[in-house]
Amino acid sequence: MSPTSKAIAACALMILLGIGWFSFRSTLREEEDRRWVTHTHVVVESLEEILIDVTQAEAGQRGYILTGDEKYLKPFEAGAKRIHQDIGEFHELTSDNPVQQEAIQHLEPLIASRLAALVERMEIRSRSGLEAGSKAVATGNNGEELMDEIRERITGMRHTEEQLLVPRLSAAAASTRKMKAIIIVGNALAVLFFLAAGFVTYRETGMRNLAEQDLKHSNERLELRTLELSETNIELESFSYSVAHDLRAPLRQIGGYSSVLVKDHGPHLDAEARRYLEKVEEGARKMGRLVDDLLSLSRVGRQELSLETTPLDSLLRQVVEDLAPDCSGREVEWQVGNLFSAQCDPGLMKQVFVNLLSNAVKYTRKKERAVIQVGQMSRNNERVVFVRDNGAGFEMQYVNKLFGVFQRLHKTRDFEGTGVGLAIVQRIIRKHGGRIWAEAKLNEGATFFFTLGLPGTNIARSETKFSTMR
């Protein structure tokens, strides 16, 4: 081996050693970042467990008050016991976070007050019977207020963790990118040096072939890893679909049996018992809608696009006609402009318009005169479709939560919904290679914009046509 070849080989060896060192350090850093991400998820799950424990204790108390059967004391006692365990676990998990420590100190007395009230009502039921117990429940006006405050505080604590999760996820992703860059750049340099050594002397051709073979193996491992990740994503989609699908039957049973119970035995139950059954039936319906939305979200992820040239105007007209019953008895003005034709999946694009326009109809419900505009515009040489309304709007500081699953910017009692519709819209738009964003002002309306990943160099602006629908 010539001195030049030895020098080149030595440089290549140093590069490989450097790659190994930096890869090791990057791996340690990535593991640390992932550990913090996992820690954040565990903290959020701990908060959910606390809320579930309180709810279980309430359910046990209701069962005992309604029936007097002491078997319902077991879920109450189990929930109460786990509350203390889960709060202690939360203290340990957030020992390095003074904000969460302060929040749990405010939350503990609220939970203790709620449990004390539940115990007091069960004692009244035990001493004085069903009527006295039911009366104690009916006159305990602060129970729902306490639960609302408990939920609000837990939501705030969960929001604190979600704020921590964003930079931790970013740090983990940055570590992964850094490690990949080091490996790719280092391997590329090493291969160049080995190839140079091969060109210096004919006797080192074997070394060059070996390097090429190593590179081939690296690419095969990378392809295998990519395939594994793809299969994992498919399995996760299938799992979420299966879970949501399997929930439908028990939810139907809960709703059906509750309805039958109210219909057949309602006259023999007191008003409070009937109200509880109605709550169960209403909860089953809400959960059913949520499961249906989750199935829709899962189907969108699994569905293959069936692209064809589709006039967006025709889809828009169909959706406006379908929404006519929802506008009955209201003053709703539709300002609909001409849209372009696009290569898209017609069924999925109709779903986009259904979700966006039904949102506009819903959030303008409190307006004396609702105005909903749909049209197109040009922005950065892209064709952009917009849907604008003069409804409730929202504060722009929360815009990043808008397209998240189960994220709602308004209270359920003001506007119904499951918090999945906009997530479905975003997933459909992304499958079409486009993007979606929103602009709004509180109480002044909102505007949603989306593209379909189409070139916008020759955009012919169409004259807006206005039609009024009462």
Summarize pLDDT for 404-432 with one digit per residue, the tens: 665 656 565 556 656 677 888 888 898 88
Does residue 196 lie in a domain region? yes
Quote the pLDDT of residue 462: 35
φ, ψ for residue 328 (rounded to 5)?
Answer: -60, 135
Closest CA to 401 of 416, 385, 423: 423
> How do strand 370-379 and strand 332-336 relate by DSSP bridges?
parallel
Contact call for residues 375 and 340 (beta carbons, < 8 A): no
Quick one: DSSP state of residue 202? Answer: G
pLDDT-based confidence at residue 152 (cuts at 50, 70, 90): confident
Structure tokens at 288: 């059913």
Domain edge (last residue) among 171, 200, 229: 200
Quote the pLDDT of residue 385: 93
What residue type is 452 in one-letter code? L
Structure tokens at 316: 């828009």
CATH number of domain containing 387:
3.30.565.10
Between CA 154 and CA 24 the distance in angstroms is 39
Domain span including residue 370: 308-450
Residues 25 and 162 in one domain: yes
Does residue 283 lie in a domain region? no
More confident residue, 469 or 299: 299
Lowest mean pLDDT segment, chosen from 72-81, 207-216, 280-289: 280-289
Between CA 182 and CA 186 the distance in angstroms is 6
Quote the pLDDT of residue 386: 94
Q: How many residues does the chain have?
A: 470
Does residue 80 lie in a domain region? yes
Instruction: Say what percent of the chain tops pLDDT 90.
Output: 7
Summarize pLDDT for 60-76 with one digit per residue, the tens: 777 777 777 778 778 77
DSSP letter string, 368-387:
SSEEEEEEEEEETTEEEEEE
The total number of structural domains in the chain stands at 2
More confident residue, 406 or 321: 321
Mean pLDDT throughout 216-244?
68
Mean pLDDT throughout 315-335?
89
Q: Is the pLDDT of residue 216 over 80?
A: yes
Closest CA to 44 of 197, 136, 162, 212: 162
Instruction: Say what percent of the chain tops pLDDT 70.
Output: 74
Contact call for residues 407 and 376 (beta carbons, < 8 A): no
The dihedral formed by the CA atoms of 361, 367, 371 and 373, expressed in degrees to the nearest 10: -50
Domain edge (last residue) among 155, 181, 200: 200
Closest CA to 1 of 209, 197, 213: 197
Q: Is the pLDDT of residue 190 over 90?
A: no
Q: Is the pLDDT of residue 200 over 80?
A: no
Does residue 240 lie in a domain region? no
Q: Name the pTM for this structure.
A: 0.42
pLDDT-based confidence at residue 467 (cuts at 50, 70, 90): very low
Residues 76 and 196 in one domain: yes
Q: State the average pLDDT for the chain.
A: 76
pLDDT-based confidence at residue 244 (cuts at 50, 70, 90): low
Between CA 55 and CA 71 the distance in angstroms is 17
Domain edge (last residue) among 154, 178, 200: 200
Summarize pLDDT for 101-144 with one digit per residue, the tens: 888 888 888 888 878 777 877 777 777 777 766 776 666 656 67
Contact call for residues 414 and 360 (beta carbons, < 8 A): no
Summarize pLDDT for 254-265 with one digit per residue, the tens: 767 777 777 777
Lowest mean pLDDT segment, chosen from 90-94, 172-176, 354-358: 172-176
Residues 183 and 54 in one domain: yes
Q: Is the pLDDT of residue 221 over 70?
A: yes
Does residue 191 lie in a domain region? yes
Does residue 185 lie in a domain region? yes
Summarize pLDDT for 430-463 with one digit per residue, the tens: 888 899 999 988 888 899 999 987 533 333 333 3
Residues 186 and 315 in one domain: no
Residues 177 and 320 in one domain: no
Q: Is the pLDDT of residue 303 over 80?
A: no
Quote the pLDDT of residue 353: 92
pLDDT-based confidence at residue 401 (cuts at 50, 70, 90): confident
Residues 168 and 316 in one domain: no
Does residue 464 lie in a domain region? no
Residues 192 and 312 in one domain: no
Does residue 285 lie in a domain region? no
The DSSP bridge partners found for residue 342 are 310
Residues 16 and 132 in one domain: yes
Strand-by-strand arrangement of the 436-441 sheet:
332-336, 370-379, 382-389, 445-450, 436-441
Closest CA to 391 of 442, 454, 427: 442
CA distances to 54, 270, 273 from 135, in Å: 21, 11, 12
**Which range is most confident: 165-174, 187-196, 362-371?**
362-371
